[in-house]
């Protein structure tokens, strides 16, 4: 599998209208961000990164090939960065992974546990389905031996005040709120393609 590193266009697309209402607030005032590198995009999953911050968005049940793409990206990034953080964006149409995807997720968190610094789980929605997904993902991350940080949020903007300071302090790589906002917008724009 080849992982391309393309920066998406800043032009609005029809797909950008599909993002959940209210999930992203207006962009903070700042200079334009350099953009996210999209490593993998398919219907239901978009994976990318800015330096050592990875983004993974799901709007369908995760498939094993989606997780394998994330594992490939993690392998590439850990060659340049000893520690990486992640913002996982789980949309309303996502569901629990099947057995193969679950096994791949367990392999990801096991193989790269020492390279994972912090994980922000952004779960869109409420109710039983969101609760089940939140429980599954929290359990997946909290059972790892290295004790990396993991916290759940309802919106990306709520995760930034927690994720950005711990990430920059401990990894030495600083990201701005604008970069995070633009990365999430780019991921939302690619969803469903």
Burial of 71 (0-12, 13-18, 19+ CB in 10 A): middle
Domain ranges, ordered by start, for the chain: 33-190
pLDDT (average), residues 119-145: 69
Give the model confidence (pLDDT) of 71-105 as tens digits. 899 999 999 999 999 998 888 777 777 889 888 88
Interatomic CA distance for residues 43 and 46, integer angstroms: 8
For residue 69, the model assigns a pLDDT of: 92
d(CA 137, CA 181) in angstroms, rounded, equals 23
Q: What angle, 0 to 180 degrees and rounded to 10, lies between the N-to-C axes of helices 128-142 and 99-111?
A: 40
pTM of the model: 0.74
Q: Identify the CATH class of 33-190.
A: alpha beta
| Of 158, 92, 156, 146, the residue nearest 118 (C-alpha) | 146
pLDDT value at position 140? 63
């Amino acid at each position: 599998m080849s992982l391309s590193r393309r920066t998406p266009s800043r032009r609005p697309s029809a797909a950008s209208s599909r993002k959940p209402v209210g999930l992203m607030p207006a962009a903070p005032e700042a200079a334009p961000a350099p953009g996210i590198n999209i490593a993998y995009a398919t219907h239901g999953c978009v994976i990318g990164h800015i330096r050592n911050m990875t983004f993974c968005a799901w709007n369908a049940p995760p498939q094993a090939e989606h997780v394998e793409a994330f594992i490939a990206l993690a392998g590439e990034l850990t060659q340049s960065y000893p520690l990486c953080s992640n913002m996982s964006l789980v949309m309303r149409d996502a569901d629990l992974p099947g057995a193969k995807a679950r096994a791949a997720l367990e392999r990801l968190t096991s193989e790269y546990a020492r390279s994972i610094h912090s994980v922000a789980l952004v779960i869109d929605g409420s109710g039983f389905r969101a609760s089940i997904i939140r429980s599954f993902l929290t359990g997946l991350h909290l059972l790892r031996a290295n004790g990396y940080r993991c916290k759940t949020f309802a919106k990306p903007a709520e995760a930034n005040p927690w994720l950005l300071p711990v990430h920059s302090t401990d990894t030495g790589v600083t990201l701005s709120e604008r970069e995070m906002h633009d990365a999430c917008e780019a991921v939302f724009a690619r969803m469903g393609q």
